[in-house]
Amino acid sequence: MRADILTIFPGFFRGPLDHGITRRACEMGLAEIQVHDLRGFTHDKHRTVDDRPFGGGEGMVLKPEPLFECLDTLQLAPREDRVARRVKQSVILLSAQGQRFTQKVAAELATLDRVVLICGRYEGVDERVADFLADRELSIGDYVLSGGEMGAAVIIEAVTRLLPGAVGNEASTRQESFTADVERDSEGPDSTCGSGGLLDYPHYTRPAEFRGIPVPEVLISGNHEEIRRWRRQQALEKTLRNRPDLLDGVALSDEDAKILARIKAGQE
Ligand code: SAM
CATH number of the domain at 110, please.
Answer: 3.40.1280.10
Query: Residue 3 C-alpha to ligand 1 middle, in angstroms?
Result: 20
The number of domains in the chain is 2
**Same-domain status, 149 and 184:** no
Domain boundary among 160, 195, 214: 160
Mutate to test the pocket of ligand 1, among 6, 144, 156 (most ligand atoms within 8 A of CB): 144
- Atom in ligand 1 nearest the alpha carbon of residue 146: 9
Tell me, yes or no, whether 19 and 124 share the same domain: yes
pLDDT at 194: 61
Q: Is the pLDDT of residue 188 over 50?
A: no
Domain membership flag for residue 169 = no
Which of 196, 194, 179 lies closest to 251 in space, CA to CA? 196
Kindly give the distance from the C-alpha atom of residue 102 to the centroid of ligand 1, in angstroms, as a whole number: 17
> 106 pLDDT exceeds 70?
yes
pLDDT band for position 66 (50/70/90)?
Answer: very high
Alpha-carbon dihedral angle through residues 116, 117, 120, 125, given to the nearest 10 degrees: 40
Q: Ligand 1 atom 23: the closest Cα is on which residue?
A: 96
Cβ count near 82 (within 10 Å): 21
Other CB atoms within a 10 A radius of the CB of residue 25 amount to 25
Q: How far is the CA of 4 from the centre of ligand 1 (A)?
A: 19
Mean pLDDT confidence for 184-208: 70
Q: Are strands 213-214 and 209-210 parallel, antiparallel or unpaired?
A: antiparallel
Q: What angle in degrees, to the nearest 10, is found between the helix axes of 254-267 and 224-242?
A: 60
Question: Is 126 found in the same domain as 49?
Answer: yes
Q: What number does the ligand 1 atom closest to the CA of 139 have?
A: 24
Cα 93 to ligand 1 centre (Å): 10
Residues 149 and 86 in one domain: yes
Are 256 and 149 found together in one domain?
no
147 lies in the same domain as 189 = no
Question: Region 13-24: what's the mean pLDDT?
Answer: 94
Structural domain contains residue 127: yes
> Do 179 and 261 share a domain, yes or no?
yes
Q: Is residue 167 part of a domain?
A: no
What number is the average pLDDT over the span 235-248?
A: 96
One domain for residues 139 and 251? no
Q: Say how many Å lie between the CA of residue 127 and the centre of ligand 1.
A: 13
The CATH number assigned to the domain holding 232 equals 1.10.1270.20
Predicted local distance difference test score (pLDDT) of residue 172 = 75
19 shares a domain with 97: yes
The whole-number average pLDDT for the span 184-188 is: 40
pLDDT in tens, 74-98: 999 999 999 999 999 999 999 999 9
Residues 61 and 132 placed together within one structural domain of the fold: yes
**Measured in whole angstroms, how far is the alpha carbon of residue 242 from the centre of its chain?**
19
**Among 117, 136, 160, where does a domain finish?**
160
Residue 120 CA, ligand 1 centroid: distance in Å: 7
Residue 118 CA, closest ligand 1 atom number = 16
* pLDDT for position 175: 75
Going by pLDDT thresholds of 50, 70 and 90, the confidence category of residue 268 is: confident
**Mean pLDDT rounded to a whole number for the chain:** 93
- pLDDT at res. 191: 35
Same domain, 195 and 156: no
CB under 6 Å to ligand 1: residues? 94-97, 119-121, 123-125, 139-141, 143-148, 151
Task: Tell the residue nearest (CA) to atom 8 of ligand 1.
Answer: 146
Question: Does 257 score more than 80 pLDDT?
Answer: yes
pLDDT per residue as tens digits for the range 110-147: 999 999 999 999 999 999 999 999 999 999 999 999 99
Q: At 190, is the pLDDT very low, low, confident or very high (cuts 50, 70, 90)?
A: very low
Domain of 219, in residue numbers:
175-267
CA of residue 150 to ligand 1 center, whole Å? 10
34 occurs within a structural domain: yes
Report the candidate in 150, 161, 93 with the shortest Cα–Cα distance to residue 127.
93
Residue 227 lies in a domain: yes
Say yes or no: 22 and 152 in one domain.
yes
